[in-house]
Structure 1
Amino acid sequence: MSTSWSADQMPDCSDRTVLVTGANSGLGFEATKSFAANGATVIMACRSAERGHEAAAEIRESVGTTGATLAVRQCDLASLGSIKSFAADIKTEYDAIDILCNNAGVMAIPRQETEDGFEKQLGVNHLGHFALTGLLLELAVESEGESRIVTHSSGAHEAGEVDFDDLQREQSYGKWEAYGQSKLANLLFAYELQRRLNTAGITDTISVACHPGYAATDLQYRGPRQEGSTLRMGLMKVANTIFGQSAQQGALPLLYASTAPDAQGGDYYGPGGALNMRGAPEKQSSNGASHDERDAQRLWDISEELTGVVYDF
């Protein structure tokens, strides 16, 4: 695999239908722009339809005439009702999804709960995407040729631990511990999904994971903003400037996992530069905890119970 891969090397996507969660900002916005530049039909799943339409207009102006279609749809991953309504509409409008990018997320925020009472980082980052993927799985399986389900994790998974005794972090909450748990959950899900596809004999749909390294986006500012911490806002600004790579660069592992011919089910991609925080995408290894099959099965069963979404392979 090339260590200098860029979005310029993406294949033509004019026959691809792509769904990107969190498509209106940060990594999702940059990924959507690259898919559009290569002619894809992109379903932009956004919490705010207004911000989604603004982003779509900006992307259309940026990429010009490529034959791409951008379809903005409202979907709040902090609401199972919103996810189920969104998925029902997508199944009515589309026959297949070729690439599903589970990208949206929240990071290191003060403890909050979703509409359904889930700790918000676990609820949005993992449970929301678990439910969405399960509801749309048939559209991925019915796609002609290979389809991919790509789940965005983070290097923070290495410090994460899934606390099955306090999954919603009601007894003890640390914003970074909760974030790490949610990002480890992303990987446990991605790998377990691949195992279950294998068991079902489904070879044309694969599950791939990735992480962006340190990409400077608005994600870093949401926690300090919600806390009203000017100091943390300033520190994040400094860190983003010194350590961060651009959102455009940070989106490359997601784009590679979504489109590169050599990407395979169960793979994990991230930046290959210093400390795996920046640089061109390469195949990497996640930590041992992310490959714990017993934990993955346990988390899967709990996720089906909490969301009410049971996967049908």
Structure 2
Amino acid sequence: MSQRWTASQVPDQRGRRIIITGGSGGLGLETALELAARGAELILAVRNAGKGEQAAKQIRQRYPQSQVEVMPLDLADLDSVKAFADMYRSRYNSLDILINNAGVMIPPYQKTRQGFELQFGSNHLGHFALTGHLLPLLLRTPRARVVTLSSIAARTGYIYFNNLDGRIGYSAGKFYCQSKLANLLFAKELQKRLTEAGADTISVGCHPGIANTNLVSRGSGKQAIWPVRFAWGLFSQTAAFGALPTLYAAAEPSLIGGEFIGPDGPGSRKGYPHHDISFEHKVNYETAAKLWNISEQLTGVYYEFAAAHPTQE
């Protein structure tokens, strides 16, 4: 694996259809721009339609031949997640890559539409439900991928099975770490189940290190105050650099599934993408299976791997 992998090494993506959640800014937009440059057909799944259209306009201006569509998705509302999946399936019969990118970080205590704690509900359960709804299309599409973004915060994360909704105590930081560990465990458990089903769809996890994005707005969608932006900028890498692990996870042909991609620098904070094994101690498959079963029960989305062999078109 190259230690200096850059966006210039993303292979040709013509003919590939890619969904990016949260594709209207930050890492999602940087990822979208690079994939559009390689000819991918993009669907930006976004909560804020205005921001989504601005992002699509920016992509089209830079790459006039690009195919970009904006579709509404609120990961904090399972009805919206299902409506998005239904709309997508009514328009398209294949899905090459699903990039579970969107996230909220350390907001004040809030709940999703269905009553889940906002970070666990949006960052994990929303993406869990979305992937489950779209799984039949992924399984039918040859060599499809699911890319799920975690964070270096997963290193200090624990799954509070007795307090998933924060009812008996809430710490914004701890619950963010929980949601990001859940993303990592989901990516690993999904690959395990895909392998057992004999599918050629793969699941790859990744994290951006510390990237300078607007996640520090604490879920408001507004720009963070300038002292926070200034301090964050001092010890983070650019969003373009932070998007490299996502691009590697989505497009690197050598990946076989189950990898966790992150920056290769000290503490995984900055650098070029590589297979980051420093998180392996957090991967407990008993915990992952328990989380999976609870996630199915909470969302009402039960995964079906029966159609695990893609149809060649």
Q: TM-score, normalised by structure 2?
A: 0.94
TM-align CA RMSD: 1.7
Residues 250-292 of structure 1 show CA distances to partners (whole Å, capped at 9, x for unaligned) of: 0000000000011221000011123211111111115355321
Q: Aligned partners of 1:64 and 1:266: how far apart in 2?
A: 35
2:119 to 101, 118, 121: 121
The match for 1:173 is: 170
Task: Write out per-residue CA displacement over residues 131-154 of structure 1, whole angstroms, 9 at most, x where no aligned residue.
Answer: 00000001111113x111000000
- What percent of counterpart residues are identical? 46
Counterpart for residue 234 of structure 2: 242
Correspondence 1:1-313 to 2 at 5 A = 1-65=1-65, 68-144=66-142, 146-202=143-199, 204-222=200-218, 233-288=225-280, 290-313=282-305
Q: Secondary structure at the match of 2:141?
A: coil
Q: Structure 1: how far apart are the matches of 2:281 and 2:166?
A: 19
SS at 2:218 equivalent: helix
**AA of the residue aligned to 1:137:** L
Query: Secondary structure of 1:196's partner?
Result: helix
Against the structure 1 CA distance between its residues 165 and 289, is the aligned structure 2 distance closer, same or farther, given a 3 Å change threshold?
farther
The DSSP-based 3-state class of the residue aligned with 2:51 is: helix
**Aligned-partner Cα distance in 1 for 2:230–2:58:** 28
The TM-score normalised by the length of structure 1 is 0.94
The alignment covers a number of residue pairs equal to: 305
CA offset digits 1:46-79 (Å, max 9, x no partner)? 00122111110011112333xx310100010000
**2: CA distance between counterparts of 1:192 and 1:279?**
27
For residue 3 of structure 1, report the CA deviation from its aligned partner: 1.3
Gaps of 5+ in 2: 306-313
Structure 1 match to 2:308: none
**Letter paired with 1:57:** K
User: What secondary structure is seen at the aligned counterpart in 2 of 1:287?
Assistant: helix
What are the Cα deviations for residues 112-143 of structure 1, in whole angstroms up to 9, with x where unaligned? 00000000000000000000000000111111
What amino acid is the match of 2:44? M
Distance 1:305 1:153, change over 3 A: same
Secondary structure in 1 matching 2:232: helix
**SS at structure 1 position matched to 2:167:** coil
- C-alpha separation in 1, matches of 2:233 and 2:120: 28
Provide structure 1 residue ranges, at least 5 long, that are not aligned to the other structure.
none
Output the CA distance in 2 between the equivalents of 1:310 and 1:114.
20
Distance in 2 separating the partners of 1:29 and 1:234: 22
Structure 1 residue 237: deviation in Å? 2.0
The farther-off stretch of 299-308 and 288-297 is 288-297
Please say if residues 268 and 286 of structure 1, whose CA atoms lie closer than 8 Å, have aligned partners that are also in contact.
no
Q: What SS does structure 1 have at the residue aligned with 2:249?
A: helix
Q: Are the aligned partners of 2:108 and 2:218 in contact in 1 as well (CA < 8 Å)? A: no
Shift of residue 239 of structure 1?
2.5
Indicate the SS of the match to 2:277: coil
Distance in 2 (CA, whole Å) between partners of 1:22 and 1:289 is 29
Contact 2:263 2:272 in 1 (8 A): yes
Shift in Å, 1:235? 4.5
Query: Contact conserved, 1:252 with 1:280, CA < 8 A, in 2?
Result: yes
Distance 1:245 1:209 in 2: 20
> Aligned partners of 2:239, 2:205: CA distance in 1, in Å?
18
Write the distance in 2 (CA, Å) between the matches of 1:106 and 1:207: 22
Q: Pick closer, same or farther for the CA change 1:288–1:252 going to 2, 3 Å.
A: closer
